[in-house]
Amino acid sequence: SSELKNHMFICAYRSNEVDVEHSFSKLMDDVVAKGEESVEKMELFSLSPTSITSFIADAVKKEEEDTEVQELSSVVYQTTMGNIFFTKQALEELVRKNILFYDMMCFEWRWVVTKVELANNMSADVVESVLGKIRDLPEEMQELLSLMSYIPNALDVPTLKALMCRDGASYEESEVKDLLEQSFDEGMLLRVSPNWIFAHDRIRQASLRFASEKSGSEETLLHISSVLLAEGAGREWCQY
């Protein structure tokens, strides 16, 4: 737009997955070589054990010095190594398994298991943790996430409605919107108006793994391809 005077691009990537030969690295080298003074690089690291303890203490409304908080944060940190997304998923997993629960009699968060039991009830990797959450979601939401996982593009409601209408199932756009809002409330999706995307790439990865576990994946891929072809006038799609 000729009215656009200022803009800012934020590019995020995992440095351990992008080496010097990667196309993104070459692009950034080219940008820097052209003398762009406004280019800044910021390295973000996992949180420290102290920060994870502070986060967990705030989440369960207890003091950081509390022995129980120290034990819980120690176990969580050993599993997540300070990855904040994984930390949140680990806590949610403990809640789903009723290991971490809110005591309505005492009006406080409690856990009454040993450190070993805490560790044994947390998944070893973040995708498995998210996968466990997906398995507990309503079937319609599982279907929505499964279909979306095959398509890295952001998707709008009409396209999602077309994807959901299969095998005799019929949906109105309002019903699809309700499912999207519920998925947002569960922390699975984000709205980038007018489209919807996964809130985190690990959520998409877990959704794709969940989809691959179900029978009929080839029929699903064929259905998705047919819908995208029908919806694809003037649009470019990527599917995998």
Region label for 106, one of left (φ > 0), alpha (ψ between -120 and 50) or beta (otherwise)? alpha
At 150-183, the pLDDT tens digits run 988 889 999 999 999 988 889 999 999 999 999 9
pTM of the model: 0.83
- What phi and psi values does residue 127 have, to the nearest 5 degrees? -65, -40
**Percentage of residues of the chain with pLDDT beyond 90:** 62
At 11-34, the pLDDT tens digits run 888 888 888 888 888 888 888 887
pLDDT of the residue at 233 = 61
pLDDT of the residue at 75 = 96
Pairing of strands 189-192, 155-156: unpaired
The β-bridge partners of 102 are 109
pLDDT of the residue at 108 = 93
